[in-house]
A and B are shown apart, each in its own frame.
Chain A
Amino acid sequence: MIKLAFVTALLLPATVIGGDAFRDEVRPILQQHCFGCHGQKKQKGDLRLDTLDPDMVRGTSAERWHDALNNINLGEMPPEDEPQLSAGERRKLVGWLTGELQKAAKARQNTGGQVVMRRLNRAEYQYTMTDLLGLEMDYSGEFPSDARSPEGFKNNGASLNMTALQIENYLKTARKALNFILVEGEQAEKKIAALSRNKGAMKGPSSRRFTGLSSERLGRVNYWHGTFKDLPRTGRFSIRVKAYTNRKPGQPDPILSVQYGYFVSGLNLNIMGDAGEIAISSTTPRHYEISGWPEFFPLPEAHVPSDKLNGIITLQNALNDGEPPTGAVNQVIEEKDKKGKIRKRKIKVYPKDPDFPDIIIESVEVVHNDYPSWPPPPHRRIIREGEELSDPQALRKILARFLRRAWRRPANGEEMAKWLAHYGRMRNQGDPPISALKDTLSAALASSHFLYLSEPFKSDQSRKLNAHELAARLSYFLWSSMPDEELFHLAESGRLLQSAVLQGQIERMLKDKKSGRFTKEFCEQWLDLEGVDRVAINPQFYKDFDNKLKPYMVEETRAFFGEILRSDTSALQLLDADFTMLNAPLAKHYGLSGPKSQRFERVSLKGTNRPGGVLGHASTHLAGSDGADSHPIKRAVWIRDRLLHDPPNPPPPDVPSVEKSVPGFEKLSIREQLAVHRKKDACADCHRGIDPWGIALEEYDAIGLFRQKTARRKKPVSPATVLPGNHEISGLADLQKYLLNKKRERFSRALTSKLLTYALGRSLRLEDEFLIEDLSADFAKDGYRLYALMKNIVASRPFVSR
């Protein structure tokens, strides 16, 4: 229908459109069909048309007229129970609206009028610092969370603010990282400490995390633990574990989980942090290694006598196949006490599970001052072989190289002079060369050039991006981070501005594993996956629910989107698909089988009852619940906002409460309560268009499982409902069919709009509407493949200009 409207518009002779045309031809139609509800007496939906300025070019009314056009095109206005527009009226009205809107859009293309400069958000800062410095570390842990734009995105320039607290953090964090990276003098002597297993049980506050006994065979239960002397306070260290697995063919790789920390003897105090996880795939002994800095882990702050202070390492088998550990059996053993007397002691023994692969630990070592080379690679990224800070030429090179990468463009002469002078100032204040460099570089990482993606222009008008700006836009779109060397080279030669080169880069970048960041960031923000964290599952109704499933539910949706993107198949699968992405615990939760570990894999849903697409994901059901029962309105608003880009208006101020006027209202099921809402005039206008979308999902409870009764009141659920436009449906499967058949274009436009909003880092404007039209038409032609859509977005005018 949308398509039709625009085609009609093009057929209209231009002369019909104009001020008089409005008065003579359009206003009478509005008068007849619209003013009754959107005029002097009533302003349903907060819209009044009789006083709305028909001059969209000079006036500020274009957005509202555009809403009106959309509602007419969608067939939602006039309402079905009111007289409909005749074909002629519709043509005149839609023609006028479309024509004026096009004029307004055109006029605005040259006036700009919105912030384009945007600060790196928390995630982008984290990724950028990691890529820039080559050091994995938590850069953004202490940063306040970022503001969301009205569309729910966290990369919107207008919404992202700057405060003193943040700049303080930028300076502090950069300096901290550079302290790890830039080294002086000779490498401190490598020291290797071999640990032996402590055969006794684990004691101290962290012990709760460990079940079973101390052992070198790690299965569903049991753990390995040992201590070492001379806990390092600084300098890179590695934990080296020689291990193998007794995995049988068909069994998954067990996963070694390593904790590192300190142990104060006498106090039985063991404080540990997670050092990481490694899949143990070898069935013969080999070395596995994890490295880090002591500062990443808890360190004792007060003075502890060194003979009491020990390092501690613990190992567990973290493979999760969804099965709970077998229960412990009591056993009586005999052992000799210190005096050699034989005593009986009761211990807990865990029966061995033959289906669960063990990890067998042969040896554990800690290597202090363990660097792959000296100076270490991240240092060499900044100061190359043969470069000395005392040599002004070298210093200039070092600084220029760093600033170019940090600022995503070369520093100009004036800037170079300033920053070299700053280094000089630091030296004069008595800083040794390496410290002066750390200072200078950390200041560069708190400068506006680094923190903002800016495309300076001495006017708010539009202009083409230069190659460096384009490279940055592209890399923040697809990688949430800075450009890599290849992009830098293409930007410097200017070749990136050639469309074939640009298209080739998109292809390359999407295949790079850094594109996983796009999947994560875009998918989380678009589908508001954080919603899962905002709901607490009520244990009264879900006794056995394990909260560890919540992050897995989020991962299902993220991985599912990633799989569609990676396989370059139709994005309509987001609405319905014959597969999903699951790991063992989540598959078990759904009553499906296949995955054998916590790793996510593609699972076919053919022949199962599990619905496909995001509407079938537990993340959707859980976020759209109150922790006990479904919350149909939350689910409905989510569908309309996120999947159809048509969010209902927020509840008006001081909405009258229907509850009191209906006796026994509180005893009704939610479905019945909503039905009452829809019957009341004050509520009906909005709720008729909201509730049914959520009711269709009623058969899925707060934890994403099929249900027949509600959790609280044990009322039977019924997902049958009537969608706006009098479409009767009988549940989720029908809703999916309806979306695919009738709302396909709407969904395609919605996804296009959301993706474009994310790519541009700003809210969309009226003049973008026609681009969305084109992009979404091409999206359909290209079989709804995201690669194709993303390529078209990158090639579009708003993306390559500011």
Chain B
Amino acid sequence: MNQGAFQLNRRAMLKATGISLALPWMESLMGARTKSPPRRFCSIYFPYGVSLPKQDGEYGQWNWFPKGSGRDFTFNKSLEVLEPFRDQVTVLGGLSHPKVRRIGGHDSGDTFLTGEELSLAATGLKNSISLDQFMARTHKLGASTRFTSLVLSSDGGVGMPTRANTLSYSRTGQPIPSFNRPAIVFERLFGLNGNSIEAQKKGLTRTGSHLDLLLDEARTMHRKLGKEDQGKLDQYLTSVREIEQDVERSAQWLDVPRPKVNAEGLSLEADNETPGKLIHTMLDLIALAFQTDSTRFVTYQLASMHGAISIANKFPNLLGFNKDAHGLAHGAGKGSGAENRGKWDRYQAECLAYLIKRLSQMEEGNGSVLDNTCIFYGSSNSKTHNNTNYPLILAGGRNLGYKHGQYLTFDSKTPLSNLFVTMQKRMGVKAGSFADSTGNLDDLIA
């Protein structure tokens, strides 16, 4: 039987049944356990860079970067939508990952949060750990929530190297699959589990025993394999061990009921044919995940960097921009193309503004969820094909000590990883370096 219609109807069903209000973090059970409000990190990525016509030229209004500098700057048309949040954002120009400048222009999406030189020659197309996972897993900052991190994208899964559908990479540089269906994300975060706690406990014990056996079997198999195959099976072993840890954690979380979240108004049925709804629902889910303290680390890739591979390439078309994302990017250098492209930049900035607004409306402690959340928004291209001068925005995180309301520019000697060092420090990571960092940007922004 075909069950295609199930997801479509889920929203209406939830609407009719799950009527209950969201609990803000302070009132949740976890709130009682922690003293100070949680610190959170969210990275949002878009491909192909932005529109960059000459600031003083005919289409200068559509240059993504503001006019002026420091505290004395004016947003151009694309970022104008951030004006209401001027004091909550910092625009950064000139930064990029030095090693990534050596690889293909369309190949840099995978490296946004890793800084790795992703080429056959340098690394055999193997990536390294991403900033979110470095903080959440390596430094265990994600250990005190139900989910260590939440990895989202428009395409889902992992894609392929250089055209990955995820921003997040494990310690060994393995891509972490992303979710792209709001209904599944909702179910995972807030889904009702009909079983009694007793039954769930038993289930976890059972899963624990299964995992022991699976590990044992795989280890036996491992001994019979050649080196290449062993490498492949190592992934399996690592994954099973990871679930073991998750099972332990789930057991700790069993007595804590899942946050009750009202699905009213969430378009959980949204898919890649309705991109406006899809993106905004994902942003809603990010906000809810933070508000309920279900996780403190989120990455969200709006599209991957290849017109021929990303399903999200058609989003601008569906949203009435008359060209696909790749077409807009390639047309940006041609006259009015800068404006067309700029309008799409503006749409994307509106999405960021939407998230900022949602988070700022969620009260937490003496401020809002936004004050405890560092949003890192941007692309790994300035213009299409060009891996320098990333368009970047830092937003939120007032309680983390950010000095916002600035437009800062850097020369190409400053690796983007220096910013990562500052960000990880503000989150509470003790390590003073990340990837190819040569220092930090503490003085300027925090």
Q: Could you tell me which A residues sit within 8 Å of B by CB distance? A: 112-118, 136, 138, 141-142, 144-150, 157, 159, 161-168, 171, 205-206, 259, 261, 264, 267, 269, 271-276, 290-292, 296-298, 300-302, 304, 414-415, 418-419, 422, 425-426, 429-431, 439, 442-443, 446-449, 451-452, 454, 456-461, 531, 533-536, 538, 540, 547, 626-628, 631, 634, 637, 650-655, 657, 659-660, 665-666, 712
Q: Judging by beta carbons under 8 Å apart, are A534 and B236 in contact?
A: no
Give the distance to chain A from B276, nearest Cβ to Cβ, in Å: 13
Q: Judging by beta carbons under 8 Å apart, are B175 and A654 in contact?
A: no
Bound together, the chains give a CA A190 to CA B228 distance in angstroms of 55
Q: Judging by beta carbons under 8 Å apart, are A112 and B228 in contact?
A: yes
Bound together, the chains give a CA A341 to CA B159 distance in angstroms of 67
List the A side residues contacting B179 at CB < 8 Å: 144
Q: How large is the interface on B (under 10, 10 to 19, 20 to 34, 35 or more residues)?
A: 35 or more
Give the distance to chain B from A448, nearest Cβ to Cβ, in Å: 4
B209 interfacial contact with A, CB 8 Å: yes
Q: Judging by beta carbons under 8 Å apart, are A446 and B210 in contact?
A: yes
Bits for B190-216, please: 1 = Cβ < 8 Å to A, else 0: 001000000000100111011001101
Q: Judging by beta carbons under 8 Å apart, are A422 and B213 in contact?
A: yes
Q: Judging by beta carbons under 8 Å apart, are B221 and A657 in contact?
A: no
Bound together, the chains give a CA A447 to CA B273 distance in angstroms of 37
Q: Judging by beta carbons under 8 Å apart, are A113 and B159 in contact?
A: no
Q: Judging by beta carbons under 8 Å apart, are B224 and A456 in contact?
A: yes
Bound together, the chains give a CA A105 to CA B174 distance in angstroms of 31
Q: Judging by beta carbons under 8 Å apart, are B317 and A538 in contact?
A: yes
Q: Judging by beta carbons under 8 Å apart, are B224 and A113 in contact?
A: no
- For chain B, residues 2 to 41, give those with C-beta under 8 angstroms from any C-beta of chain A: 2-6, 9-10, 12-14, 16-18
List the A side residues contacting B155 at CB < 8 Å: 145
B80 interfacial contact with A, CB 8 Å: no
Q: Judging by beta carbons under 8 Å apart, are A449 and B308 in contact?
A: no
Query: CB < 8 Å: which of A206, A448, A457 contacts B226?
Result: A457
List the B side residues contacting A459 at CB < 8 Å: 226
Q: Judging by beta carbons under 8 Å apart, are B178 and A144 in contact?
A: yes
B311 interfacial contact with A, CB 8 Å: yes
List the A side residues contacting B159 at CB < 8 Å: 147-148
Q: Judging by beta carbons under 8 Å apart, are B9 and A273 in contact?
A: yes
Q: Judging by beta carbons under 8 Å apart, are B233 and A452 in contact?
A: yes
Query: CB < 8 Å: which of A142, A157, A274, A454 contacts B184?
Result: A142
Instruction: Supply 30 A–B pairs (Cβ within 8 Å), ascending by A.
Output: A112-B228, A117-B229, A144-B177, A144-B179, A147-B175, A159-B160, A161-B158, A163-B176, A163-B177, A163-B235, A164-B242, A259-B5, A274-B3, A297-B3, A302-B17, A425-B209, A429-B205, A429-B206, A448-B221, A454-B225, A456-B221, A458-B226, A459-B226, A538-B322, A628-B317, A628-B322, A637-B308, A655-B385, A659-B334, A666-B331
Q: Judging by beta carbons under 8 Å apart, are B314 and A651 in contact?
A: no
B231 interfacial contact with A, CB 8 Å: yes
Residue in chain B with minimal CB distance to A665: B334
List the A side residues contacting B207 at CB < 8 Å: 171
- For chain B, residues 249 to 286, give those with C-beta under 8 angstroms from any C-beta of chain A: 272-273
Q: Judging by beta carbons under 8 Å apart, are B324 and A535 in contact?
A: yes
Q: Judging by beta carbons under 8 Å apart, are B217 and A418 in contact?
A: yes
Q: Judging by beta carbons under 8 Å apart, are A666 and B176 in contact?
A: no
List the B side residues contacting A291 at CB < 8 Å: 1
Stretch of B71-79, B82-90, B102-110, B412-420 at the chain-chain interface: B102-110
B13, B272, B310: residue with the most chain A Cβ atoms closer than 10 Å: B13
Give the distance to chain A from B407, nearest Cβ to Cβ, in Å: 25
**13 further interface pairs, Cβ-Cβ under 8 Å (given A276-B1, A448-B233, A535-B314):** A115-B231, A117-B225, A144-B157, A275-B2, A276-B2, A297-B6, A300-B16, A426-B206, A443-B210, A458-B225, A459-B226, A628-B323, A653-B101
List the B side residues contacting A626 at CB < 8 Å: 317, 323-324, 326-327
Known: A425-B209, A447-B214. A458 touches B224 (CB 8 A): yes
Known: A274-B3, A637-B308. A301 touches B17 (CB 8 A): yes
Query: CB < 8 Å: which of B13, B105, B209, B307 contacts A426?
Result: B209
Give the distance to chain B from A1, nearest Cβ to Cβ, in Å: 30
In the A-B complex, the 7 residue pairs with the closest CB atoms = A302-B17, A145-B157, A144-B177, A536-B314, A666-B334, A292-B1, A144-B157
Bound together, the chains give a CA A261 to CA B231 distance in angstroms of 47
Bound together, the chains give a CA A149 to CA B159 distance in angstroms of 9
Known: A269-B12, A273-B3, A626-B324. A144 touches B314 (CB 8 A): no
Bound together, the chains give a CA A46 to CA B313 distance in angstroms of 28
Q: Judging by beta carbons under 8 Å apart, are B227 and A460 in contact?
A: yes
Q: Could you tell me which B residues sit within 8 Å of A by CB distance? A: 1-6, 9-10, 12-14, 16-18, 101-107, 155-160, 165, 174-179, 184, 192, 202, 205-207, 209-210, 213-214, 216-218, 220-221, 224-229, 231-233, 235-236, 239-240, 242-243, 246, 272-273, 307-311, 313-315, 317-318, 322-324, 326-327, 331, 333-337, 385-387
Query: CB < 8 Å: which of B13, B202, B387 contacts A298?
Result: B13
B2, B192, B227, B311: residue with the most chain A Cβ atoms closer than 10 Å: B2
Give the distance to chain B from A275, nearest Cβ to Cβ, in Å: 5
Query: CB < 8 Å: which of A272, A449, A660 contacts B9?
Result: A272
Residue in chain B with minimal CB distance to A439: B206
List the A side residues contacting B235 at CB < 8 Å: 161-163
Bound together, the chains give a CA A115 to CA B230 distance in angstroms of 9
Q: Judging by beta carbons under 8 Å apart, are B176 and A534 in contact?
A: no
List the B side residues contacting A274 at CB < 8 Å: 1-5
List the A side residues contacting B322 at CB < 8 Å: 538, 540, 628, 712
Query: CB < 8 Å: which of A149, A654, A666 contacts B386?
Result: A654
Give the distance to chain B from A566, nearest Cβ to Cβ, in Å: 25
Q: Judging by beta carbons under 8 Å apart, are B225 and A457 in contact?
A: yes
Bound together, the chains give a CA A457 to CA B229 distance in angstroms of 9
Bound together, the chains give a CA A429 to CA B184 distance in angstroms of 32
Known: A443-B214, A454-B221, A637-B308. A653 touches B2 (CB 8 A): no
List the A side residues contacting B103 at CB < 8 Å: 653
Bound together, the chains give a CA A612 to CA B333 distance in angstroms of 38
A116, A145, A418: residue with the most chain B Cβ atoms closer than 10 Å: A145
Q: Judging by beta carbons under 8 Å apart, are A651 and B229 in contact?
A: no
Give the distance to chain A from B230, nearest Cβ to Cβ, in Å: 9
Known: A168-B243, A206-B9, A659-B333. A147 touches B158 (CB 8 A): yes
Give the distance to chain B from A117, nearest Cβ to Cβ, in Å: 4
Bound together, the chains give a CA A533 to CA B272 distance in angstroms of 9
Q: Judging by beta carbons under 8 Å apart, are A264 and B16 in contact?
A: yes
List the B side residues contacting A451 at CB < 8 Å: 236
Give the distance to chain A from B94, nearest Cβ to Cβ, in Å: 16
Query: CB < 8 Å: which of B156, B205, B335 contacts A145?
Result: B156
Give the distance to chain B from A102, nearest Cβ to Cβ, in Å: 25
Q: Judging by beta carbons under 8 Å apart, are B218 and A448 in contact?
A: yes
Bound together, the chains give a CA A97 to CA B217 distance in angstroms of 47
List the B side residues contacting A442 at CB < 8 Å: 210
List the B side residues contacting A712 at CB < 8 Å: 322
Bound together, the chains give a CA A162 to CA B323 distance in angstroms of 36
Q: Judging by beta carbons under 8 Å apart, are B12 and A627 in contact?
A: no
Query: CB < 8 Å: which of A136, A267, A447 contacts B1?
Result: A136
List the B side residues contacting A446 at CB < 8 Å: 210, 214
Known: A161-B174, A165-B177, A660-B333. A651 touches B385 (CB 8 A): yes
Q: Judging by beta carbons under 8 Å apart, are A448 and B214 in contact?
A: yes
Q: Judging by beta carbons under 8 Å apart, are B337 and A666 in contact?
A: yes
Residue in chain A with minimal CB distance to B2: A274
List the A side residues contacting B327 at CB < 8 Å: 626, 631
Give the distance to chain A from B412, nearest Cβ to Cβ, in Å: 13
List the A side residues contacting B14 at CB < 8 Å: 301
Residue in chain A with minimal CB distance to B246: A164
List the A side residues contacting B17 at CB < 8 Å: 300-302, 304
Q: Judging by beta carbons under 8 Å apart, are A447 and B218 in contact?
A: yes
Query: CB < 8 Å: which of B106, B216, B224 contacts A651?
Result: B106
Query: CB < 8 Å: which of A147, A452, A650, A666 contacts B160?
Result: A147
Query: CB < 8 Å: which of B1, B13, B202, B239 contacts A164?
Result: B239
Give the distance to chain A from B302, nearest Cβ to Cβ, in Å: 15
Known: A164-B243, A538-B322, A666-B334. A627 touches B225 (CB 8 A): no
